Every structure is written in structure tokens, then in C-alpha cells.
């Protein structure tokens, strides 16, 4: 695997996720923090208009616009569709990009702690995951490899490699000290690892770690008119990445009915009650747990 | 004190505070829950356009528009300024209102638990506070009587009497099961108390309870250009209504400097890091604690 020459740290892909935006400001005023000898680091503010509007996005979710088909469709011309094309030009183009590694910084209102989201499980990502897990025992490794990286619609899929640093819980438009520190810590470890990888000095790593793999998305209960008729049950609220068995309560309907987890497997819910997903009536994602062999 | 004939429960004064909005929906479809024999109950959705836009407000904060001077100024004509005049007509007019009692339902991103906000400390409110405190030991009684009720800009000041039910923590645009239950419980107790008061059957109450009185508002640290240079310190984050002594850390600046509480009294911070107050660069409010003698 070739070395990484150009690393981009991206913040503000969603305009009301403040940790990445304020982390960028700090790093821009003190570039030494994110500089490493073996690569160049650039800082990219992805969605400044959404930040100015204090919203996740102006017209549509920027972090769903990097599917190659969408990038190639010039009839898609609203603000985020245009930003995606500009960022693809700036960092990519996707498939043959200038930037070797993208770290995209995100917050969630869900209680996910510091989560590293990987789009694929190649040797580099496995070692990175093990390196992070060892240094941040509370960190979650979440793999979203249900589609090929090139087909992903996430911003970080534009680079040769890319990861998402997702830290919660933090309400939209709030800056929490603890969440900020957690995001900076994980980002620093990632930069350190890329540097060690570049100079062929990856330290001894754990042989295996616990990781989670995205499996499916669950929606809030609705009636025939598409109106929400229930909410996430307090039995699972805040319990991201804790196991839930078939039959355990998942939703509380407003009429008092409890709805149970109907799957046929032990699931690890995450993005539980994420504010931004209400647009699509999404309640949470479900994952499997697995042992990642490094 | 005369009895209460008309009670209005108001939700959605802020469009992204979901508990009150969804509570109203439930009560509207099952009015028996909020009905009591001694008064009529009406349900009012204060800011439907802000809810449709999934925002706190469309043009300006509706819950700051009920100052008599603002209500009388017909040149103030944006959406919330117009809604305020319409609500004043519907529930008031302020000073000589049709509605005797307003319960205005709110959420905060701050860790305030179930908080009952009172605008004055007359005998009715003292008894109400004691009644709530006894039934919900975790409830906070917060008094904002630094100005006369008639001068308050809050929606609930339009009624002969009015209170705010403020429950957190809940991110904007999220519906938490636990927060919903807490709001419904407090509202039910308030309705019960109004009924008992009306029929002259107020039960024996605690002689005194602990309460808090608003004292001042603190802003986030800014530089000379008005840019935010720090955040709420994790030493106080989530510790609403816990005492802070002069000299204890309050803010963490992005350059690593800690800023301490500079006041000359033991303060009880609340609305700590409330997302909605970032518009005005507000970090938190400070209160005194006192013993409320009933």
C-alpha cells in the first residue's frame, strides 16, 4: 500500500455539528497541531452556508451527495449538490483523487461516544482501528461496508481512503467541552497513525478487537397517513451499541402500545433518536457485533 | 383569590421543542386526560409554522414578544410578532384576559430535569410549587420575578396566571420518552392542583421548599470582534442547579485558558449550554437558592 501524501481534515459538513467546525478554527490558527512530517495537512470547511444558517443543510444533506451518479448529474444544482461537485473537484475527483486520506468530523445527538466509521476493511483500516481501540478503549469501531467505498455517498469517500469521526451525544448547535476533547483526541491518534504507517513504524497492535457492522435502518412507527404514532422507547434511549434481543421493547406508541424488536438477531442499535434523521422518519440503525482480526 | 374557569395548555411556542407538541397531539385526541370538572381546558399550538420549518422560530423568538409595548406596536409585523398579537387576542388580552391560567410547555437542551418556572410568588404559586415539589421530588422550582408579570415578554404572562413547564435535557427536534413522561406528569399535577384550588380542597402542603431565583445571565467569552473564543467548561456542563463557588472554572477558552466564575456569591447555573441561546451568545443563567415558605 502506498503512503499518504495529502491528508484533508473536513469539518462543518453538517452546519449545526459544532465540534468539527470549532476544531478546524483552532487548528487553522495553530496548524502545528495537525501537521506531521510525512504528509501535508489541509483543513476544509465543507458547508459554510449551512453553518451561517445554523442548520444541518441549506437544501439537502451534503453528506449524501457523493454518489458518483449524483456527482455526474449537472442538473442537480442546489446549494449542497453544487458544494459536493466543488468539493469533489477540490479533494478528488472521486476514483482518482488528489487527496489520499479524508477525516470527516461529525457530531450526533445519539449517545455514541467517540465512534470511528470505516467504509471498508482493508489492512490499513484494520490497523488504524486497532491503533485507535488500544489508545481510546471507549471508542467504537463501526464498519459500513455494505456497499463499495466508491459507491458511498459520504464526503469521505472522495479520498483514496476516508473515515468519519462521529462523536456524541451533543445537541445540534451546541459545543460541549467533553465532546470537543474526544473528537480532537481521536483525530490526533488518526494523524499519528497515518504518519507511523507512512514511515513504516506501525507499532505492535492488538491481534483482534471488537467492532460493529451496519446491518439495517429502522423507522419510527407511522400510521397509514405517514404520521408518527410513537417514539423510541426509554428502554433503548442512550443505549447505543448495547445489545438488544428480539422481543425487547423498542418503541412506545402514543396510545400506550409497546412495540418490540422484531428482528431475528441480537442487534446493536446506534444513531438512536438522532435529531437529523427525523426528516426521513428514521429511529435508529442496527448493527452486528464481530471480532475484527487485525 | 378567584377560581380558575379557563385553562389553556400551550405547546410548540418553540417549533423544535417536541415534547409539548406531541403531548398536545395526544391530549387533543383524548381530551379526558386534561379535562377537570371545575374548569374548561383548551389546547393551543402556538407556533405551527416554526414546527413545519423544524426551527425554534421563523423570524424571531415568539416567547419574547409578549411585552405590552411590543404587543401594542403594530409596526412589528413579522411572523412571530403577528402570532403574538393573535395569541394575545385569542387568550388575553394581557391585563384583562379571558384565560385564567396558561401552562406553556417547553424543552431545553440543558440538564434541567422537570422545572416549573413561576413569574411571581403569590399564595397560589407558592402552594402550587409546594404541591409539585411534594409529588415530584426531582422537580426544580425556578422563580423569575425580577420584573412584574405584566412586563414579562413570555407567552404565559398573557393569562391571569401562567407558568412554564421546562423539561430537559432534550436535543432540539428530538422526542425523548423519559422527557415526555416527565412533562406529562408535571402538567397533570398542575391541572390537579388548579382543580383542588378551585373546589377549595388544597391538601396539607410542606411548610417550606427549596427554590431558585433567577439573578443574571452570563455570556460566552468573546474577542474584540465578537467571535466566540471559548465554551462552557466540562466542570459545569450538565450540572444545572448545582452550586458553583467564586473561582471555580466556568469556561474553557480555545487557547487553553480557563475562566472562573467571577461573581461574589454561590451561584446555581441553569440553562447551561442551551442551544437556542447561542444566537445571543448566552452561556447560562445564574440563580440564587432560597427557602420558599408556603
Domain with residue B238: its CATH number is 2.20.25.160
Contact A174 B275 (CB under 8 A): yes
The verdict on A33 touching B (C-beta cutoff 8 Å) is no
Contacts of A169 in chain B (CB under 8 A): 171
Choice among A42, A166, A181, A227 that is catalytic: A166
The verdict on A206 touching B (C-beta cutoff 8 Å) is no
Set of cell numbers at residue B264 = 461574589
Is the same domain home to A173 and A134?
Answer: yes
The verdict on A280 touching B (C-beta cutoff 8 Å) is no
DSSP string for A162-208: EEEEEEE---TT---HHHHHHHHHHHHHHHHHHHHHHTT-PPP--SE
Closest-CA residue of B relative to A281 is B174
Contact B171 A109 (CB under 8 A): yes
Range of the domain at A258: 218-284
Contact assessment for residue A288 and residue A264, using Cβ atoms and an 8 Å cutoff: no
Set of cell numbers at residue A93 = 475527483
Domains in chain A, number: 2
| Domain final residue pick, A180, A206, A232 | A206
The verdict on B176 touching A (C-beta cutoff 8 Å) is yes
Closest-CA residue of A relative to B169 is A171
Is the same domain home to A198 and A225?
Answer: no
The verdict on B257 touching A (C-beta cutoff 8 Å) is no
10 Å CB burial of residue A281 (0-12, 13-18, 19+) is: middle
Is the same domain home to A152 and A66?
Answer: yes
Distance from CA of A124 to the nearest CA of B (A): 32
Phi, psi of B284 (to 5 degrees): -175, 165
Closest-CA residue of A relative to B25 is A254
Is the same domain home to A143 and A256?
Answer: no
| Domain final residue pick, B183, B206, B229 | B206
Dist. CA B10–CA A87, nearest whole Å: 45
The contacts of residue B7 (CB under 8 Å, 6+ apart) are B36, B39, B40, B41, B42, B99, B100, B101, B102, B103, B191, B194
pLDDT of residue B51: 97
The residues of chain B scoring below 50 in pLDDT are none
Dist. CA A72–CA A64, nearest whole Å: 14
Contact A177 B275 (CB under 8 A): no
Contact B169 A171 (CB under 8 A): yes
Per residue of chain A (294 residues), give pLDDT as tens: 679 999 999 999 999 999 999 999 999 999 999 999 999 999 999 999 999 999 999 999 999 999 999 999 999 999 999 999 999 999 999 999 999 999 999 999 999 999 999 999 999 999 999 999 999 999 999 999 999 999 999 999 999 999 999 999 999 999 999 999 999 999 999 999 999 999 999 999 999 999 999 999 999 999 999 889 999 999 999 999 999 999 999 999 999 999 999 999 999 999 999 999 988 999 999 999 999 999
Contact A174 B234 (CB under 8 A): no
The verdict on A259 touching B (C-beta cutoff 8 Å) is no
pLDDT of residue B2: 74
Is the same domain home to B55 and B195?
Answer: yes
Is the same domain home to A149 and A261?
Answer: no
Is residue B151 assigned to a domain?
yes
Contact B237 A178 (CB under 8 A): yes
Distance from CA of A181 to the nearest CA of B (A): 10
Is the same domain home to A176 and A269?
Answer: no
Is residue B49 assigned to a domain?
yes
10 Å CB burial of residue A282 (0-12, 13-18, 19+) is: middle
Distance from CA of A149 to the nearest CA of B (A): 31
From B239, B248, B47, select the one nearest A178 (Cα to Cα).
B239
Is the same domain home to A195 and A223?
Answer: no
The verdict on A275 touching B (C-beta cutoff 8 Å) is yes
Dist. CA A72–CA A85, nearest whole Å: 8
Is the same domain home to B195 and B272?
Answer: no
Is residue A294 assigned to a domain?
no
The verdict on A161 touching B (C-beta cutoff 8 Å) is no
Residues of B that are catalytic: 166
Is the same domain home to B282 and B200?
Answer: no
Contact B54 A278 (CB under 8 A): yes
Is residue A274 assigned to a domain?
yes
pLDDT of residue A1: 60
Residue B17 is assigned to a ligand binding site: yes
Contacts of B169 in chain A (CB under 8 A): 171
The contacts of residue A59 (CB under 8 Å, 6+ apart) are A78, A79, A80, A81
CA-CA-CA-CA torsion sign (A271, A272, A277, A282): positive
Contact A173 B25 (CB under 8 A): no
Is residue B1 assigned to a domain?
no
Taking only Cα atoms into account, the Rg of chain A, rounded to an integer number of angstroms, comes to 19
pLDDT of residue A2: 74
From B181, B208, B177, select the one nearest B292 (Cα to Cα).
B208
Dist. CA B282–CA B217, nearest whole Å: 7
Set of cell numbers at residue B85 = 398579537
The verdict on A199 touching B (C-beta cutoff 8 Å) is no
Q: Which of B54, B173, B233 sits opposite A177 (nearest CB)?
A: B233
The contacts of residue B109 (CB under 8 Å, 6+ apart) are A171, A174, B168, B169, B170, B171, B172, B273, B274, B275, B276
Contact A177 B252 (CB under 8 A): yes
Q: How far is CA A152 from CA A77, A138, A213, A215, A270, in A?
A: 20, 27, 15, 15, 19
Contacts of B273 in chain A (CB under 8 A): 174-176
Is residue A292 assigned to a domain?
no
Is the same domain home to A102 and A222?
Answer: no
Contact B178 A109 (CB under 8 A): no
Q: How many pairs of residues across A and B have Cβ atoms under 8 Å apart?
A: 76
ipTM of the assembly?
0.91
Count CB neighbours of B74 within 10 A: 9
Dist. CA B184–CA B121, nearest whole Å: 23
The verdict on A172 touching B (C-beta cutoff 8 Å) is yes
Q: Which CATH number do you get for residue A138?
A: 3.40.630.10
Closest-CA residue of A relative to B29 is A255
Is residue A28 assigned to a domain?
yes
In the DSSP assignment, the letter for residue A147 is S
pLDDT digits (tens, 9 = 90+) for B185-236: 999 999 999 999 999 999 999 999 999 999 999 999 999 998 899 999 999 9
Q: Which of B178, B232, B237 sits opposite A237 (nearest CB)?
A: B178
| Domain final residue pick, A151, A179, A206 | A206
Is the same domain home to A200 and A262?
Answer: no
Amino acid at each position: 500500500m502506498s503512503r499518504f501524501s495529502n491528508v484533508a481534515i473536513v469539518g462543518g459538513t453538517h452546519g449545526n455539528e459544532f465540534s468539527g467546525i470549532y476544531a478546524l478554527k483552532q487548528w487553522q490558527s495553530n496548524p502545528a497541531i495537525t501537521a506531521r512530517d510525512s504528509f501535508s495537512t489541509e483543513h476544509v470547511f465543507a458547508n459554510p452556508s449551512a453553518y451561517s444558517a445554523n442548520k444541518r443543510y441549506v437544501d439537502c444533506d451534503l453528506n449524501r451527495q457523493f454518489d458518483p451518479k449524483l456527482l455526474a448529474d449537472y442538473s442537480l444544482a442546489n446549494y449542497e449538490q453544487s458544494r459536493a461537485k466543488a468539493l469533489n473537484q477540490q479533494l478528488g475527483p472521486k476514483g482518482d483523487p488528489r487527496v489520499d486520506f479524508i477525516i470527516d468530523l461529525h457530531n450526533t445527538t445519539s449517545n455514541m461516544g467517540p465512534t470511528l466509521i470505516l467504509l471498508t476493511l482493508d489492512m490499513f483500516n484494520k490497523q488504524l482501528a486497532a491503533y485507535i481501540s488500544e489508545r481510546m478503549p471507549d471508542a467504537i469501531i463501526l464498519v459500513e461496508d455494505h456497499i463499495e467505498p466508491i459507491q458511498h455517498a459520504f464526503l469521505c469517500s472522495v479520498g483514496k481512503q476516508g473515515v468519519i469521526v462521529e462523536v456524541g451525544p451533543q445537541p445540534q448547535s451546541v459545543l460541549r467541552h467533553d465532546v470537543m476533547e474526544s473528537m480532537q483526541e481521536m483525530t490526533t491518534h488518526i494523524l499519528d497513525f497515518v504518519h507511523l504507517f507512512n514511515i513504516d513504524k506501525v507499532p505492535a497492535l492488538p491481534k483482534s478487537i471488537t467492532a460493529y457492522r451496519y446491518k439495517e435502518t429502522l423507522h419510527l412507527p407511522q400510521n397509514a397517513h405517514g404520521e408518527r404514532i410513537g417514539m423510541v422507547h426509554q428502554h433503548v434511549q442512550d443505549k447505543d451499541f448495547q445489545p438488544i434481543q428480539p422481543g425487547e421493547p423498542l418503541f412506545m406508541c402514543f396510545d400506550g402500545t409497546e412495540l418490540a424488536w422484531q428482528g431475528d438477531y441480537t442487534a446493536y442499535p446506534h444513531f438512536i433518536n438522532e435529531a437529523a434523521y427525523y426528516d426521513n422518519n428514521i429511529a435508529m440503525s442496527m448493527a452486528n457485533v464481530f471480532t475484527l482480526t487485525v
